């Protein structure tokens, strides 16, 4: 036990990687840790507690809001507000950003964007779900109200990003721009311990993850790439294996560990794709690049996209470098 490193200890030990953060990030991670433990507790009571199913309303995305979405959104909002270090929050579950403007938050210099529960519709059938978050420095003056521009920053400006996956075990994986590290939750004592140091995705994998139920509606380049993945070619170790869970965090986490590509392209009905740039794609792209992989919209780097609105969507190709580069070649045909 004496050799185990907790998440809190690890963040403090590595603060030299983010100059100017005099303990603030460790406290923000403390808030995320706390909220994730509460969500973990509720998920592990699913089926015996009133946390599964439809909440009776749709969110700003026009999607059926699950009870767990509402619960997690409130817990993360409360935990981040209570620390006094975050001046505003934007959530996939909220129409607009939320300003924290109590005296406690005077001079706060960080904002957080969050998808409280990615894949929440899967909770009813006991499939892994997750939380995705990213942290930015505000760009508006510290003595003024937080502005929309604080949230519409390119992904290259992220100070930190990560996700929590609630699966066979609960893990928190994050980066501050100096590699990716994973921490597994020990529920018996309520502590996250470092379990996956310096995570790296293989340069090439054998897994492709895409909802092939939408195949007929995909762009031609995506169709051709899927056929490429299915072809028999011993020299390139094909065919690849198809694995699709339908929970971005779960699909991404598997591919990060084993190597692979995740694709959510544009298609009829969703001409800009379905995934949100700010809440899902930017933080996942930051993690992937730090782990040695690539993230693009099929043609250009995700982190270079200039956001225009809070709930902006984008096609998403993310994973092992060789696989994403190959997929991009088909998109340029």
Q: Which CATH number is 246's domain given?
A: 3.40.190.80
* Tens-digit pLDDT profile for residues 49-97: 444 444 445 555 555 567 888 899 999 999 999 988 899 999 999 999 9
CATH of the domain at 106: 3.30.540.10
Domain check: are 298 and 218 in the same one?
yes
Asked if residues 265 and 213 have their Cβ atoms less than 8 Å apart, the reply is: no
Classify residue 201: in a domain, yes or no: no
How large is the angle between the packed helices 321-331 and 220-230, nearest 10 degrees?
130
Helices (H), the chain: 7-13, 24-43, 67-83, 148-151, 220-230, 248-258, 282-290, 321-331
Domain check: are 187 and 221 in the same one?
no
Which has the higher per-residue pLDDT, 139 or 15? 139
Number of H helices, E strands in the chain: 8, 15
pLDDT on residue 35: 97
Classify residue 2: in a domain, yes or no: no
Please tell me the pTM assigned to this model.
Answer: 0.92
By residue range, what is the domain housing residue 271? 207-331
Classify residue 307: in a domain, yes or no: yes
The tally of domains found in the chain comes to 2
Classify residue 202: in a domain, yes or no: no
- Nearest by Cα to 132 from 283, 270, 327: 283
**For the chain, how long is the longest CA-to-CA vector?**
64
Domain check: are 33 and 144 in the same one?
yes
* Tens-digit pLDDT profile for residues 197-211: 999 999 999 999 999
Domain check: are 285 and 161 in the same one?
no
- Nearest by Cα to 279 from 111, 35, 138, 80: 111
Domain check: are 76 and 187 in the same one?
yes
Asked, as a colleague might, if the bond just before 217 is cis with ω within 30 of 0, I would say no
Classify residue 253: in a domain, yes or no: yes
């Amino acid at each position: 036990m004496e050799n185990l490193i907790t998440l809190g200890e690890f963040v403090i030990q590595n603060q030299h990687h983010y100059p100017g953060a005099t303990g603030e990030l460790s406290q923000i991670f403390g808030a995320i840790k706390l909220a994730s433990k509460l969500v973990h507790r509720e998920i592990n009571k699913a089926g015996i507690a009133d946390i599964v199913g439809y909440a009776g309303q749709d969110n700003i995305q026009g999607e059926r809001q699950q009870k767990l979405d509402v619960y997690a959104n409130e817990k993360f909002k409360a935990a981040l507000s209570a620390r006094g270090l975050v001046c505003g929050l934007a959530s996939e579950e909220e129409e607009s950003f939320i300003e924290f403007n109590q005296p406690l938050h005077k001079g706060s210099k960080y904002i957080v964007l969050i998808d409280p529960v990615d894949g929440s519709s899967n909770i009813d059938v006991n499939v892994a779900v997750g939380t995705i978050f990213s942290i930015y420095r505000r760009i508006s003056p510290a003595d003024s109200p937080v502005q929309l521009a604080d949230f519409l920053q390119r992904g290259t400006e992220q100070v930190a990003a990560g996700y929590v996956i609630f699966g066979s075990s609960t893990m928190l994986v994050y980066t501050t721009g100096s590699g990716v590290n994973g921490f597994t939750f020990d529920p018996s004592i309520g502590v996250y311990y470092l379990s996956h140091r310096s995570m790296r995705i293989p340069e090439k994998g054998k897994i492709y993850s895409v909802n092939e139920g939408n195949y007929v509606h995909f762009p031609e380049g995506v169709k051709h790439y899927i056929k490429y993945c299915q072809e028999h070619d011993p020299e390139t170790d094909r065919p690849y294996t198809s694995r699709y869970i339908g929970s971005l965090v779960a699909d991404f986490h598997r591919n990060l560990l084993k190597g692979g590509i995740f694709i959510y392209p544009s298609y009829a009905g969703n001409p800009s794709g379905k995934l949100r740039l700010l809440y899902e794609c930017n933080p996942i792209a930051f993690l992937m690049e730090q782990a040695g992989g690539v993230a693009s919209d099929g043609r250009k780097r995700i982190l270079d996209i200039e956001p225009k609105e809070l709930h902006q969507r984008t096609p998403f190709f993310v994973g092992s470098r060789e696989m994403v580069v190959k997929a991009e070649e088909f998109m340029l045909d």
